[in-house]
Amino acid sequence: QKEVEQNSGPLSVPEGAIASLNCTYSDRGSQSFFWYRQYSGKSPELIMSIYSNGDKEDGRFTAQLNKASQYVSLLIRDSQPSDSATYLCAVNRLTGTASKLTFGTGTRLQVTL
């Protein structure tokens, strides 16, 4: 079982729709959860971080965390073509800054016109 699992996609959604990206993790001790966006040929860009159960909203993005189910998701409202990218889920066992992240393989999102 992979430590962090994501559906590789591609996930195709029409412009203006809600894109729902999902991630599961195996380590129950995980404390910090992150979503990164990576455009082709570029490095990852941090979109959201979430540390406690529930929802966290930032603009068009909402991260959802359920530690009991070991599940974290990212919702993108009003999807735009510029949202087309690979979205990486990452988890961290500690809340401190010095510990390494474990990444999923990413979900490729395509927003169609």
Q: Which parts of this chain interact with other proteins (CB under 8 A)?
A: 34, 36, 41-46, 49, 88, 90, 97-98, 100-101, 103-106
CB of 76 to other proteins, least distance (A): 19
Nearer to other proteins, 78 or 109 (CB): 109
Residue 54: which residues within 8 A CB-CB, separation 6 or more? 64, 65
Cα separations in angstroms, 66 against 24, 25, 97, 113: 10, 11, 22, 32
Nearer to other proteins, 43 or 82 (CB): 43
Nearer to other proteins, 17 or 38 (CB): 38
CB of 67 to other proteins, least distance (A): 19
Judge contact between 79 and 105, C-beta under 8 A.
no
CB of 13 to other proteins, least distance (A): 21
Nearer to other proteins, 2 or 77 (CB): 2
CB of 29 to other proteins, least distance (A): 18
Q: Please tell me the number of Cα atoms within 13 Å of 38 on its side-chain side.
A: 19
Judge contact between 65 and 77, C-beta under 8 A.
no
